[in-house]
Structure 1
Amino acid sequence: MEEVLKDYPRIEARLVNAGKATEIAGYLMAFTVPVVALFLDGKEVLREARFIPVEKLRDDLKRIYEGVFDE
């Protein structure tokens, strides 16, 4: 994930161990791992879980990033 986010410096990432932070996992409804969830202004705008195709994730992040930051 760190490699993918290098292209998007304005996105902040956090890693949460769902087994140890069960309250956060429950709040995010992260019942399978891994889960990538992107929030913008407190609203979820992207979620990928379990089997995450890296190229699809890159494309989705690029579309959202360019739409938000207009770069």
Structure 2
Amino acid sequence: MLPQVEEVLKEYPRIEAGLVNAGKVTEIAGFLMAFTVPVIVLYLDGREALREARFVPIEKLREDLQRIYEGVFGE
């Protein structure tokens, strides 16, 4: 899943991505309320704007990111 998400994110250069391995950083699961994997969470100004978990349809992710990106950056 990671390579597909990284490919989609290339279309949105102003989005910063980070990867956290919940197996190594166990506190993150509780903090993000992420109790299944994978989980994709997008924050805007410290607030959650998008969450996809377990089965992440790449095209839906792309569409959601496009909508948010256009709304925030006007691009």
**Smaller-chain TM-score range?**
over 0.9
1:1-71 matched pairs, under 5 angstroms: 1-71=5-75
2:68 and 2:49 mapped to 1: Cα distance? 8
RMSD over equivalenced CA pairs, Å:
0.5
Of structures 1 and 2, the one scoring higher in RCO (CA 8 A, sep 6+) is: 2
Q: Extract unaligned runs of 5+ from structure 2.
A: none
Length, aligned pairs only: 71
2:47 and 2:26 mapped to 1: Cα distance? 21
Q: In percent, how many aligned pairs have the same letter?
A: 79
Q: Displaced runs of 4+ in structure 1, greater than 2 A?
A: none
Q: Under a length normalisation based on structure 2, what TM-score does the superposition of the two structures give?
A: 0.92
